């Protein structure tokens, strides 16, 4: 496992179960512009189509929303955590990432929003 900077053209998101949500992407764009990218996207090596050829590239494991936000911010070199996973392992990891994600209750969301505002105003 290592962090690498990878050209966007080498990253693919095949067979995503959950589509990216425009509102989430927009919130991430604002955050990235304000404080930068906190967590790289996670990818695994894979063969990808390049015209009629197959080349070495990467498939997204986690971070499709972050990837979309980075592209909206104009980034072409993407910080990535690279995991050595086969295709089926990548699919399992992607599913686990989505199944295990925490969902904030409205109360917790309000607490995090208020705490963030306090920190922002303190700056």
CA angle 49/50/52 to nearest 5° reads 85
Position with higher pLDDT, 32 vs 110: 32
Helices (H) and strands (E) in the chain, counts: 4, 5
pLDDT, one tens digit per residue, over 13-47 is: 988 877 889 999 999 999 999 999 999 999 999 99
Q: What is the pTM of this model?
A: 0.83
| pLDDT level of residue 78 (50, 70, 90 thresholds) | very high
Token pair belonging to 97? 């990432």
Place of tokens 């991430």: 28
Percent of residues, the chain, with pLDDT higher than 90: 59
Query: Angle, to 10 degrees, between the axis of helix 22-35 and the axis of helix 64-72?
Result: 60
Which class for 11: exposed (0-12), middle (13-18), buried (19 or more C-beta within 10 A)?
A: buried
Report the candidate in 42, 35, 36, 49 with the shortest Cα–Cα distance to residue 4: 42
pLDDT, one tens digit per residue, over 48-68 is: 998 899 999 999 999 999 999
What is the overall mean pLDDT for the chain? Answer: 90
């Amino acid at each position: 496992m290592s962090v690498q900077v990878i050209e966007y053209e080498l990253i693919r998101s095949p067979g995503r179960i959950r589509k990216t949500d425009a509102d989430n992407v927009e919130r991430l764009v604002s955050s990235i512009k304000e404080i930068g990218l906190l967590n790289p996207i996670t990818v695994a090596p894979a063969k990808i189509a390049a015209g009629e050829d197959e080349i070495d590239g990467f498939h997204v494991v986690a971070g499709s929303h972050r990837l979309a936000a980075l592209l909206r911010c104009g980034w072409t070199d993407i910080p990535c955590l690279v995991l050595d996973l086969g295709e089926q392992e990548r699919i399992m990891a992607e599913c686990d990432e989505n199944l295990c994600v925490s969902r904030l209750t409205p109360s917790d969301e309000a607490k995090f929003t208020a705490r963030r505002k306090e920190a922002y105003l303190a700056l």
